[in-house]
Copies of this chain bind each other. A is one copy, B any other.
Amino acid sequence: MQSTVTLRDVAQAAKVSIATASRALAGEGLTSRSTEARLRRIAAELGYRPNALARGLKTRTTRLVGLVVHNLTNASFRVLAEVVQRRLRAEGYQTILCITADDPEQEAEIIATLADQRVDGLIICPTGHNGARLAALDSNGTPVTCVVRRDEMVEMETVLAADPEGAYAGTRHLLELGHRRIGLIVGRRETTSGRERLSGYRRALEEAGIAFDPSLVHAGPYEPETGLAGCRQLLDRADRPTALFVANHESALGVLRGLAERDLLVPDDISLLCYEDMPGFAWQRPAISVVDSGATAMADLAADRLLQRLRPNAAPPAETAREYRIGARLIQRHSCRPVAP
Taking Cβ atoms with an 8 Å cutoff, the residues of A that contact B are: 1, 3-4, 49-54, 56-57, 62, 64, 71-73, 78, 81-82, 85-86, 89, 94-99, 112-118, 136, 139-141, 224, 253-254, 256-257, 260-261, 279-280, 283-285
Q: Give complex CA distance A98, B285 in Å.
A: 34
Partner of A72, one of B72, B113, B118, B139: B72
Q: Is the CB–CB distance between A98 and B72 below 8 Å?
A: no
User: Is A116 a contact of B52 with CB atoms below 8 Å?
Assistant: yes
Find A283's partner among B52, B64, B140, B253 (CB 8 Å cutoff). B253
- 18 additional A-B pairs beyond A50-B116, A97-B97, beta carbons within 8 Å, are A1-B140, A51-B116, A52-B118, A53-B53, A53-B62, A54-B57, A71-B82, A72-B78, A73-B279, A81-B97, A82-B99, A85-B98, A94-B114, A95-B98, A253-B283, A256-B284, A261-B285, A280-B280
Q: Which 6 A-B pairs have the closest CB atoms?
A: A260-B285, A97-B97, A253-B283, A53-B57, A52-B116, A53-B56
The CA-CA distance from A49 to B260 in the complex, in Å, is 55
Nearest B-chain residue to A223, judged by Cβ? B279
Q: Can you give 7 A-B contacts (C-beta < 8 A)?
A: A49-B116, A51-B118, A85-B98, A94-B96, A94-B113, A94-B114, A260-B285
B residues less than 8 Å from A57 (CB atoms): 51, 53-54, 57
Complex Cα distance, B4 from A50, in Å, reads 25
Assess whether A256 is in contact with B285, with CB atoms less than 8 Å apart. Answer: yes
Please indicate which of the listed interface residues A78, A114, A279, A283 has the most CB atoms of chain B within 10 Å of its own CB.
A283
Complex alpha-carbon distance, A116 and B254, angstroms? 46
Q: Which residues of B contact A140 (CB under 8 A)?
A: 1, 3-4
- Nearest chain B CB to A244's CB is how many angstroms away? 16
Residues from chain B with a CB closer than 8 A to the CB of A256 are 283-285
Task: Tell me how far the C-beta of A70 lies from the nearest C-beta in chain B, rounded to whole angstroms.
Answer: 11
Find A81's partner among B53, B72, B117 (CB 8 Å cutoff): B72
